[in-house]
Amino acid sequence: MRVKLDPDPRYVFQFEDETMLSPQIVQLQGNVKQPIFSCKFTRDRASQVDPLSNFWSNAADGSNQDMGRRERKGWRVKIHDLSGSAVAAAFITTPFVPATGCDWVAKSNPGAWLIVCPDPCSPESWQPWGKLEAWRERGGVRDCICFRFHVFSDGQEGGEFLVSEVLINAEKGGEFFIDTDRQAATPMLSPQSSGDFAGLSPVAGGFVMSCRVQGEGKLSKPRVQLAMRHVTCVEDAAIFMALAAAVDLSIEACVPFRRKIRRGTHSW
């Protein structure tokens, strides 16, 4: 008898709709879809009773105000399990604003998201897990959205480990990934990056996750793959869903400010 073993088993998840529409997230197993999480997107100010408000400041209300002030901020996503408990979140900490002399978010001042998870020592509190930066690179033929992702050592800001730098085609979309083997082969070097990603991070070690998203103005339902060896509980998967949501929303946050944000049939 022969037994075929998958050398790299993965979980596959799918957002059932656009991230901005607060979709359900399902796990895909062949043709079977199993609901696992729900995703809640908001742009309004955090309430006083929201424990996430400890990290929240200067949130803006409404997309028209975002456009009028030429900045995009106050966006946040919470990931809830089937019981309704919030198990991960992502929110903008550095607004997406146009660089001096141009109409887009540039590398000199990237927008940034903080990815957080529940604090095991204090159920009503959150602790930082990672930081995602994004900006737009103008090209001769096509533009790209650039991503740089760090994780924090022991959940504390300050001890940051770079684990991914990725370019995604702004028009066609593409794949964000954390994969030390793949990253080492094609690093996107920056002044803050040595290009050596191996062994730097608590989540490092071959393939960790990937997230496929659509480009600007297209209906995007992020599809996420996670290495099984990095998932020991539902909270482990949830934090990567929050990261995937931030990646997807960053595509729109980096749209030039002279254009309206448009996804699928929705514009605002």
pLDDT in tens, 74-130: 999 999 999 999 999 999 999 999 998 888 999 999 999 999 998 888 767 889 999
- Of 110, 267, 93, the closest CA to residue 191 belongs to 110
Tokens of 103: 């109409």
**Domain range list for the chain:** 10-258
Cα torsion 127, 79, 90, 171: sign: positive
Supply the DSSP symbol for 233: S
Question: Where are the alpha helices (H) located in the chain, listed in sequence order?
Answer: 63-68, 180-185, 234-253
What is the secondary structure of 120-185 as a DSSP string? TTEEEEEEEEEEEEEEEE--SS--EEEEEEEEEGGG-TT-EEEEEEEEEETTTBEEEEEEHHHHHH
CA separation for the pair 102, 64 (Å, rounded): 20
Please tell me the number of Cα atoms within 13 Å of 13 on its side-chain side: 30
In 3-state terms, what secondary structure has residue 171?
A: coil
**Mean pLDDT (whole number) for 237-248:** 97
Tokens of 116: 């957080």
| pTM confidence score | 0.82
CA 29 from chain centre, in angstroms, equals 23
pLDDT in tens, 121-167: 876 788 999 999 999 998 777 899 999 999 987 645 557 889 999 99
